Amino acid sequence: MNKPEPNEYNPYYTGYVSLVTETEMVSALANQIDEIEQFWSGVPENLGDHSYEPGKWTVKGVLSHLIDTERVYAYRALRFSKGDPTALPGYDQDAYVAAAGFTHLGLLELVDELIMLRKSNIVFFRNLPPSTETRSGNANGSEITVRAIACILIGHVRHHSRIVAEKYL
């Protein structure tokens, strides 16, 4: 599964896609597991409930957001890979984080959940017939291909890991 062309996703996602230097998306998804483990296992547990300024997500909130996005985008990829023409709505990331109920969990529990989801998504993307990777659908008012979703998942994790490194650590 190759990296998507710019016409395969809304320009909003350019920042995420630009963080992906790899050309093969399934391998990049798999290799990112090590990135996730290395970075997030180095975040001190006592920072889990910390936010860098009022109104911003806590570190656990960022992880919850990564988990939610992994699920939502994988669902979109599933639907579009099957040729489902139904337009899918966006989701309110702030409302999802607010309703997540993660405060009783440790950082490593959230990291484990993200990694388990990613492993499942790797199997999903790896087993797709090549003819499905450029299938597209409408999500949140914009056309997007299956392989663009895979790429965005990689860039999305890198984006938020960078923010945590810069603003929380």
Nearest Cα to 77, choosing from 160, 133, 1, 8?
133
CA distance 113 to 6: 31
Whether 114 maps to a domain, the answer reads: yes
In this prediction, residue 108 carries a pLDDT of: 94
For residue 31, tell me if it sits in a domain.
yes
Residue-level pLDDT at 76: 98
Domain span at residue 84 reads 6-167
Q: How many domains does the chain have?
A: 1
Task: Give which of 31, 5, 33 is closest to 17, Cα–Cα.
Answer: 5
What's the CATH code of the domain at 157?
Answer: 1.20.120.450
For residue 44, being part of any structural domain is answered with yes
Examine residue 12 and state whether it is found in any structural domain, yes or no: yes
Query: Is position 1 within any domain?
Result: no
Residue 140 included in any domain = yes
| pLDDT (0 to 100) of residue 103 | 85
Q: Which residues contact 73 (CB under 8 A, 6 or more apart)?
A: 149, 152, 153, 156
Sign of CA dihedral 70, 75, 80, 85: negative
pLDDT in tens, 34-48: 999 999 999 999 999
Residues of the chain with pLDDT under 70: none
- Is 10 a member of any domain? yes
Token pair for residue 54?
A: 């009022």
Q: What is the pLDDT of residue 165?
A: 96
In this predicted structure, what is the pLDDT of residue 116? 98
